[in-house]
């Protein structure tokens, strides 16, 4: 066979692979891909090691260890006042991206329309297309990236199956407010529309704001699947473990796909996480930890040629270069990596349409020394 018809003819290698590869090739500081450079908790690593040494090395139950699901149920109820049954409404997944793909595959049929908000994490669109769905993007514009919910309402048709949201938002670093979620509840009320909420940065939120999970809102909770990531929360993105919450009637369908996609997830890590989550300080301390990183980074880059609005959540900061360059963001990102030794992500790659917002995304989940060296390079850019 000399050729095949691609199911994703317009999709190439992800920008994260490209920019991280270029950073490695050139020796640039990598603020492109979203992974921390600091250590994972020694306590968590020891718990993981102990679990393996205690022979917790075979398949976990398909939905995940009940001990971990019980801890997540307690955590969700305490943080958001919403109870999820650990037996029927929580599933452990092989990371957030797998959970998103599973949810989309479980509920999107050929011809179904899915509303996404762009710039959007790059796995959303391909997953929808592989399921036979039709992507209907709503374009958010800088610097505020706000949603006009009346405009979203006008996009809804009898084919709308799913609305995907992401808060805190990657790549913009914005967050959805209580009013945003109330508006979403209002426009989906009385419909069969499902909400898929990507909340992997739930604990990385700043300036005294509270994370507005869809599970805080009863009307939304009853129609929503919510995706979380232990990797984002505990600085261990390479462990690729997360979880999904949803009402029983939806989780039943989610698990039908999950069981044939990965079946079950890393057993000793689940044992470790079940123990580690008992100490709520391990996640309640994250907002102040990451806000200190954000504040340190923006202090370091003040006075550079970039403009910026401090992000409200996630560990990404957008920098606006429109004052000093007319280059397309993809070209500038490559040039800065090669000529100045600092790698970022061009924001245009998060849109379906051909846009150039003159924005680059930088990850500040790095140790202070790395941020200092990165800031020196940012100040040298012209």
pLDDT digits (tens, 9 = 90+) for 95-142: 999 999 999 999 999 999 999 999 999 999 999 999 999 999 999 999
DSSP 238: G
Residues 268 and 296 both lie in one domain: no
Asked if residue 9 is part of any domain, the answer here is no
CA dihedral for 252, 256, 259, 261, sign (positive or negative): negative
Asked if residue 2 is part of any domain, the answer here is no
Q: Tell me which residue range forms the domain holding 291.
A: 15-40+284-380
Q: How far is CA 52 from CA 45, 61, 112, 376, in A?
A: 11, 17, 44, 43
Task: Specify whether the CB–CB gap between 99 and 93 falls below 8 A.
Answer: yes
Token pair 């374009």 in the structure block, residue: 139
* pLDDT of amino acid 17: 87
Distance of CA 194 to the CA centre of its chain: 19
- pLDDT tens across 19-78, in order? 999 999 999 999 998 889 999 999 999 999 999 999 999 999 999 999 999 999 999 999
* pLDDT of amino acid 234: 97
Tell me what percent of the residues of the chain surpass a pLDDT of 90. 92
pTM over 0.85: yes
Cis peptide before 171 (omega within 30 of 0): yes
Q: Is 314 exposed, middle or buried (0-12, 13-18, 19+ CB in 10 A)?
A: buried
Asked if residue 129 is part of any domain, the answer here is yes
Task: Specify whether the CB–CB gap between 241 and 92 falls below 8 A.
Answer: yes
Residues 178 and 293 both lie in one domain: no
pLDDT at 12 over 90: no
| Residue 141: φ, ψ to 5° | -120, 145
Residues 6+ apart with CB under 8 A from 210: none
Residues 272 and 335 both lie in one domain: no
- pLDDT tens across 259-283, in order? 999 999 999 999 999 999 999 999 9
What residues form DSSP beta bridges with 135? 114
Asked if residue 348 is part of any domain, the answer here is yes
Residues 363 and 244 both lie in one domain: no
> Which two tokens mark 279?
């100490």
- pLDDT tens across 19-31, in order? 999 999 999 999 9
Is pLDDT larger for residue 341 or for residue 11? Answer: 341
> Which two tokens mark 226?
């919510």
* pLDDT of amino acid 359: 97
Asked if residue 3 is part of any domain, the answer here is no
Distance CA 201, CA 314 (A): 5
Task: Specify whether the CB–CB gap between 187 and 153 falls below 8 A.
Answer: yes
The CATH number of the domain where 364 resides is what?
A: 3.90.1150.10
DSSP codes, 75-121: HHHHHHS----TTTSEEEESSHHHHHHHHHHHH--TT-EEEEEES--
Q: Integer distance in angstroms from the first to the last C-alpha of the chain?
A: 50
- Specify the 3-state DSSP secondary structure of 212: coil
Least confident of 160-174, 202-216, 303-317, 346-360: 346-360
Mean pLDDT confidence for 355-376? 96
The CATH number of the domain where 122 resides is what?
A: 3.40.640.10
DSSP 203: T
Output helix, strand, coil percentages for the chain, rounded to the nearest 5. 45, 15, 40
CA neighbours within 13 Å on the CB side: how many for 325? 22
Mean pLDDT confidence for 244-262? 98
Residues 36 and 47 both lie in one domain: no
Determine if residue 242 is left, alpha or beta; phi over 0 gives left, psi from -120 to 50 gives alpha, anything else beta: beta
**Confidence bin at 1 (pLDDT 50/70/90):** low
> Which two tokens mark 348?
């245009």
- Specify the 3-state DSSP secondary structure of 313: strand
Asked if residue 300 is part of any domain, the answer here is yes
Asked if residue 212 is part of any domain, the answer here is yes
- Cβ–Cβ contacts within 10 Å for residue 97, how many? 20
pLDDT at 298 over 90: yes
Asked if residue 7 is part of any domain, the answer here is no
Residues 220 and 87 both lie in one domain: yes
Residue that is last in its domain, among 241, 256, 282: 282
**Confidence bin at 14 (pLDDT 50/70/90):** confident
Residues 71 and 161 both lie in one domain: yes
């Amino acid at each position: 066979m000399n050729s095949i018809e691609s199911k994703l003819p317009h999709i190439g290698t992800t920008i994260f692979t490209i920019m991280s590869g270029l950073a490695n090739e050139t020796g640039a500081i990598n603020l492109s891909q979203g992974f921390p450079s600091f250590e994972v908790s020694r306590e968590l690593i020891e718990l993981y090691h102990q679990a393996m040494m205690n022979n917790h090395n075979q398949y976990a139950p398909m939905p995940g260890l009940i001990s971990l699901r019980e801890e997540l149920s307690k955590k969700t109820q305490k943080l958001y006042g919403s109870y999820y049954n650990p037996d029927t409404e929580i599933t452990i997944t092989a990371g957030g991206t797998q959970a998103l793909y599973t949810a989309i595959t479980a509920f999107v049929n050929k011809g179904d329309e899915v509303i996404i908000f762009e710039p959007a994490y790059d796995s959303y669109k391909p997953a929808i297309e592989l399921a036979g769905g039709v992507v209907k993007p709503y374009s958010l514009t800088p610097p505020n990236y706000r949603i006009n919910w009346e405009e979203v309402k006008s996009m809804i048709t009898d084919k709308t199956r799913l609305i995907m949201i992401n808060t805190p938002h990657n790549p913009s670093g914005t967050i959805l407010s209580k009013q945003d979620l109330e508006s979403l509840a209002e426009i989906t009320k009385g419909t069969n529309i499902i909400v898929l909420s990507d909340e992997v940065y739930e604990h990385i939120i700043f300036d005294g704001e509270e994370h507005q999970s869809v599970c805080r809102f009863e009307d939304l909770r009853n129609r929503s699947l919510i995706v979380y990531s232990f990797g984002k929360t505990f600085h261990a993105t390479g462990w690729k473990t997360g979880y999904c919450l949803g009402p029983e009637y939806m989780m039943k369908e989610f698990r039908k796909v999950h069981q044939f996609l990965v079946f079950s997830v890393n057993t000793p890590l689940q044992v470790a996480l079940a123990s580690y989550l008992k100490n709520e300080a391990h996640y309640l301390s994250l907002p102040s930890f990451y806000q200190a990183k954000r504040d340190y980074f923006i202090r370091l880059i003040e006075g550079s040629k970039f403009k910026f609005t401090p992000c409200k959540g996630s560990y990404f900061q957008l920098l606006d270069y429109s004052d000093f360059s007319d280059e397309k963001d993809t070209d500038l990102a490559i040039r800065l990596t090669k000529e100045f030794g600092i790698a970022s992500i061009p924001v245009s790659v998060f849109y379906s349409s051909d846009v150039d917002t003159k924005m680059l995304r930088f990850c500040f989940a790095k140790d202070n020394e790395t941020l200092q060296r990165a800031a020196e390079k940012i100040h040298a850019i012209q």
